[in-house]
Structure 1
Amino acid sequence: MPQVSKREFERVPLRVHDFLAGVALHDVWAVDLPRWRAGVTLDEFLRAASNHPFTPSTVVRMLINIRLSIGRLFGLDGEPAASTRESFATRLTAADHSRSLVPPGTKEGLFRVVYRFENEQLLEVINRTAHAAALSALVETARAYRFYFGVYVRSVGRFTPLYMALIDPFRKLVVYPSLLRSIRANWNQHFGSA
């Protein structure tokens, strides 16, 4: 499950590139999925997986629980300063609203939906550590599907760069590879060959 270059990702025709202009793309990952049949959309995949395409491993669940415990202990998950807590959903145009298949602000676990289009979904979380957005996109090619997972981070204070540096090794070495393996497993379960 490789990290892919920002250049490759930015060549994919997605709304997020203009939508989050000015917000740093922290990193982007991709996993290639077998093309058992044509025309599968991200929305169809998410619905087939009951909106839970990522199945965290035991180690990832443990890391998330540790992070949430530390967050509760130090108050990291509370609201940031008023000047930094504006949702990315305020950037939605009327066309974005009408195209979104899920209402903005809908809870998805620890995140809130900014938008879900047929092949692109943007979720966000805002707290005292960062204002982060997670982009999922599904692109069909002649022989496969490519699932992209991008992470955007907007600073909410001086602690944001330090926080991201502290969690990067866990995200890059454990969390994202595990989550992307679960994407492939869920894909094969729902869209695998007969």
Structure 2
Amino acid sequence: MRLPSTAHTSRPWRIHEIAHDFHLEDVWALPTPGGPDDLHHLVRQITNGAGDGVSSPVYRALFAIRWKLGALLGWDKAGSGVGARVRTLRDRLPADLREAPRGDDPRSVPFTSLYQLHDEWAAELANRTVHAVMHIGWVPDGAGGYRGRMAVLVKPNGAFGAVYMACIKPFRYVGVYPALFRAMGRTWQANAHERTVA
């Protein structure tokens, strides 16, 4: 479920001090009910391939088109990423976050972990279109439990990046996020036993 921006901005997340010059693009409630200490399970699920279980042909087609266009137009070349076109946000981390665990680095998505705390995890990516942060927060659900919340923060690369983000917005809302979150919820439920014994 999409949430208002205040669902992210009103909370005292550490990412606010790191990515203060990024635009908050989206905030979503994730279908991941759990206990107060379950964020690390969600991070592991995401970094081990959050999109692997997505069966939607629309989702798969959109990503196939995106990666093909990226290859043809050079959007994802090595020189366009973090540490090349843009400096990593790890350079902005205060000492306590630099010393904190980073969490698992994603294996099947193009993000690099920044830091992981008890209730939040952040990872970044960059290409020729955008520098982006995926922020996962772990919040009370109002019913005695907790669940994940995802915020996407972006810094488009000039006018081209801004146009690109505007063009892909309807595809994200219709073809990407719904399919991704359904698959995420199925995987989360299928792994419930691991959380209760961990």
For the aligned pair, the TM-score class normalised by the smaller chain equals 0.7 to 0.9
Higher strand fraction (1 or 2): 1
Letter in 2 for 1:88: L
The letter for the 2-side match of 1:130 is V
Q: For 2:55, which of 57, 60, 71 is the aligned residue?
A: 57
TM value normalised by structure 2: 0.82
Name the SS of the counterpart of 1:147 in structure 2.
Answer: strand
Alignment correspondent of 1:72: 71
Q: How does 1:80-159 map to 2 (within 5 A)?
A: 80=80, 84-102=85-103, 106-108=105-107, 109-141=109-141, 142-159=143-160
Which residue, out of 37, 40, 49, partners 2:37?
40
Number of residue pairs matched?
189
**Which contiguous aligned blocks of 4+ residues in structure 1 show a shift greater than 4 angstroms?**
81-84
Structure 2 unaligned residues grouped into runs of 5+:
none
CA distance in 2, matches of 1:172, 1:49: 19
Aligned partner letter, 2:173: K
| Cα distance in 2, alignment partners of residues 28 and 85 from structure 1 | 24
> How far apart are the structure 2 equivalents of 1:122 and 1:48?
14
Counterpart in the other structure of 1:10: 9
Using structure 1 for the length normalisation, give the TM-score. 0.83
Q: Is the 8 A contact 1:80 1:156 kept in 2?
A: no
SS at match of 2:30: strand
Distance 1:120 1:19 in 2: 13
Question: Secondary structure at the residue paired with 2:67?
Answer: helix
- Output the amino acid matched with 1:184: G
Q: Which amino acid aligns with 1:14?
A: W
Q: What CA distance in whole angstroms lies between the structure 2 residues aligned with 1:48 and 1:107?
A: 9
The answer to whether the 8 Å contact 1:19/1:91 transfers is: yes
SS of aligned partner of 1:85: coil
Using the TM superposition, give the Cα deviation of residue 32 of structure 1 relative to its aligned residue in structure 2, in angstroms: 4.8
Give the distance between the partners of 1:7 and 1:51, measured in 2 at CA: 29
| Cα RMSD after superposing both structures | 2.7
User: CA offsets per residue over residues 37-92 of structure 1, 9 Å max, x none?
Assistant: x3332113333677334433343222111100011111111234999511112111
SS of the counterpart of 1:29? strand
